[in-house]
Structure 1
C-alpha cells in the first residue's frame, strides 16, 4: 500500500518539473520533498524520476504510478467533497419520528421550513405510537423524535435528551348547537352532568378521569371512538362531549366547537428527543433548531 502523501509529492514533482517548484507548491523544503521521493522509490523498488540539467522527468515506472496516483487522489478528493457537503447540509438524509396529532399539525410546518433552508437533505418521517417511537430512538432507526408527556408521567431525562417545544392545551369539543358552544371558556366543574365520548385505550382517558375527579364527579361514558375524527363526528350529532389535545383539532369537524378549559384540565408537553450517546449529524442538529424556531410561533391557541 503506497502512502498517498508521497504519491501526491510525486505528482507535484512531475507536473512542475523540479523538486524546488514542487516544494514551493506544497510548502515543503526541497530536502523534505527529496526524502519523500526516496522513500517512495524504495517502496516501488525502482527509480521513478530521471534527474537532468533542466529538471526531472518520470521514468516509465514513474509514469505508470503517476497515472494511478491521479485516479486515487481524484477519488479521495471527491470523497472529501462529498463528506464536506453532508457536513455542510448540502447532501444527505435524516430520519425523524413523530405521532399522529403533531404529524398533522406542527410537524408539516417544520418540514416546510427545513426544506426551504436545506432542499438537498432528504427527510424520512416515521409516524407511530409512543412505544414504537421509543424503540426507534433506542435502536437508532430515527435520530430525533417528537414525543409527549403529562405532568404525572414525565419522560425519563436520563434515557433521552429532551427539549420542550411547547405545551399542548387540553380543550373541550362540543356540538355546534350545544348549550356551551358560545362560551369563551368553561371549567370541568360545569360538565358533571354531561355524557362523554372518549378515545378507547388512549391517554386522554386518564386526562378526563383526573380532571373529572379534581372537579368532583365521575364521567359517564357514552361512546368509545377509535380516533379523533370519529370522536368529533359523534360529538357533532350530540352523542356526547369530548376532551382532546388542541393539536388533535387541526382538522376540525364543521359541526363542532372547541372551547378552552383553562387550568381545569392539564396540558401535555410536546418534546423533541434524541439519545444522549448519539453522535449527531449536522442535518439532525439543524432540524432540531428548526423545530425550536417553529415552536416559538406555533404554541397552540384556543
Structure 2
C-alpha cells in the first residue's frame, strides 16, 4: 500500500511538469517534494520520473502510477464530501415533493418525526401533480418526492429509483342515509344501478372506476364531476351519487358521508418515494427517506387496523 500523500505529490509533479512548480502548488519546499518522490520510488522499486534541465517527465511506471493515483485521490475526495454531508444533518436544507392527498394525510406524520430528529434541517415541500413532481426530480429542484402508481401503469423504475411505502386502498363513498351505508363491505358488482360522482379532468380515480366497472360488467352513469375530493364528498352527502376515492383522500371525512370497503373488487394505488438514480443523495435526503419508510410501516398498520 503506497502512502496517499506521496501519490498526491507525484500527481502534482507530473501535472505541473517540475518539482518547483509542484512544491509551490502544494505549499511544500522543493526539497520536501524531492524526498517524497524518492521514498515513493523506493517503495515502487523503479524510477517514476525522468529529470531534465527544464523539468521532469514521468517514466512508463510513473504514467501508470499517476493514473491510479488520480482515481484514488478522486475517491478520497468523494469520501470527504460524503462525510461532510453527514455533518450536514446538523444544518442545511432539504427540498421534498408531494401531492395533495399525501400532503393532507401521511406526509405530516413523517415531517413531524424528521423535525424532531433533525431540527436544524430546513424543510421546503413542493406540492404538485405527478408529472410536475417527476419533472422537478429530473431537473434537480427537489431531492426526493412522494409519488403513486397503479398496477396497470407502473412508474418507470429505470427513470427513477423507487421505494414502495404502502398500499392505499380504493374505498366507496356513500351518503349516510344510503342503503349501503350500514354495510361493512360491498363489491363493485353490487353497484351497477348507482349514479356516480367522479373527479373532473381525467383524474386517475376515473380510470379506477372505469376498469373496476368493466370488470364488474357495467358502465357507470355519471351525475357530477367534482374538482376535488371535498366537493365530491359534499355531492355524495346529498345523494347526488356515490364515489370512489383512495382511502388517504377521505381521512377528513364529510359528516354526511360513510366510507365502505370495496375489498379486492377495486384496485389500490401504490405510494412510493422516489429520487433520481444518478443523483448523489445528501445525508438529509437519505435520512428523510428512512423516516418515510418507518412512518409508512406504522401508518399502514394503523389504517389497516381501522378498516371495516
**TM-score normalised by L of structure 1:** 0.73
Q: Which runs of 4+ in 1 moved over 2 A?
A: 36-40, 83-88
1:250-269 Cα shifts (integer Å, max 9, x gaps): 21111100001000000000
Where do 1:28-47 residues align within 5 Å?
none
What's the offset of the Cα at 1:88? 4.7
Where do 1:189-208 residues align within 5 Å?
189-200=189-200, 201-208=202-209
What's the offset of the Cα at 1:86? 5.7
Instruction: Tell me the SS of whatever aligns to 1:233.
Output: helix
Structure 1 partner of 2:289: 288
What's the offset of the Cα at 1:131? 1.0
Equivalent residues, number? 229
Q: 1:159 to 1:37 in 2, by over 3 A?
A: closer
Where do 1:242-281 residues align within 5 Å?
242-281=243-282
Instruction: Measure the CA separation in 2 of the matches of 1:297 and 1:202.
Output: 29
Larger Rg: 1
Instruction: Tell me the SS of whatever aligns to 1:89.
Output: helix
Does residue 142 of structure 1 match 2:153? no
Does residue 226 of structure 1 match 2:227? yes
The alignment yields a C-alpha RMSD, in angstroms, of: 2.1
Give the conservation status (yes or no) of the 8 Å contact 2:85–2:282: no
**TM-score normalised by L of structure 2:** 0.71
Structure 2 partner of 1:116: 116
Instruction: Tell me the SS of whatever aligns to 1:111.
Output: helix
Q: 1:137 to 1:37 in 2, by over 3 A?
A: closer
Q: 1:38 to 1:101 in 2, by over 3 A?
A: closer
Structure 2 partner of 1:216: 217
1:66-123 Cα shifts (integer Å, max 9, x gaps): xxxxxxxxxxxxxx9xx84763510010001000001100000000000000000001
1:277-298 Cα shifts (integer Å, max 9, x gaps): 0100000000000000000011
Gaps of 5+ in 1: 6-35, 41-79
Give the conservation status (yes or no) of the 8 Å contact 2:233–2:254: yes
Instruction: Measure the CA separation in 1 of the matches of 2:243 and 2:85.
Output: 50
Gaps of 5+ in 2: 6-26, 32-79
